[in-house]
Chain A
């Protein structure tokens, strides 16, 4: 099973709201990723967790706050977002670096609209 589950599928929020995106995988992967994808563009890496520790933060604004409660779950907490943050947010997982070549498996994404 190569399934990555993301909830919710769609989210509409105001600029003063606090919300969270959730990602779950049960493939035993120990690396998990958040990407942001604007329309007609490739995904852009935001964060990487390896063994539940944040290993890469691609200079993402602090209004995005990732959390990895355990090896199967990844959250992205959102607060005080801007309309330009509206995008498709993708979660992916893989075995962590150093274990040889591996593949990232992506979830279906959460379509976020910030009003």
Chain B
């Protein structure tokens, strides 16, 4: 069975600092990969996704993620964090033979210090 691990439950960064959120997956083949963000009490907003091709993908709000097959990772990065980035971040995978059935990681809560 596929699984997704987000090793960091909480991360605190200072505003303006760089950010990297980790995501590791376990799956037989390369799945489709997603990052979603959820503000408190809100739904999930898609930040970016990887299906194939260039392993560095750009998303909304200045986020990017890099797929590394050798490490089974899909880490999310942002060069300079803004206070409005404080939220819960979910990595998710979908098997490449079933399109869009998502398995979510446990989430990482990002806090931003002024």
Contacts and interface: CB of A to CB of B under 8 A. Distances in A.
Chain A complexes with chain B = yes
Given A101-B32, A101-B51, A103-B34, A43 B44 contact: yes
A102 interface: yes
Give the size range of A's interface with the partner.
Answer: 20 to 34
B100 A106 contact: no
B63 interface: no
B100 A101 contact: yes
A42 B99 contact: no
Given A100-B99, A101-B94, A109 B42 contact: yes
Q: Which of A45, A99, A102, A103 has the most CB of B within 10 A?
A: A103
Nearest to B51: A101
B28 interface: no
Interface stretch (B18-26, B66-74, B75-83, B104-112): B104-112
Contact of A106 (B44, B94, B96, B101): B44
Contacts of A101: 32, 51-52, 94, 96, 99-100
Contacts of A109: 41-43
A55 to B, nearest CB: 10
A76 to B, nearest CB: 15
B102 interface: yes
Interface stretch (A11-19, A59-67, A88-96): A88-96
Interface string B33-74: 010100001111110010110000000000000000000000
Contacts of A103: 34, 46, 49, 100
A103 B102 CA distance: 9
Contacts of B44: 43, 90, 92, 106
8 contacts: A43-B90, A45-B101, A45-B102, A95-B100, A97-B98, A102-B100, A104-B102, A109-B42
Nearest 10 pairs of A and B residues by beta carbon: A42-B104, A97-B99, A106-B44, A108-B43, A101-B51, A106-B43, A102-B100, A94-B100, A101-B32, A109-B43
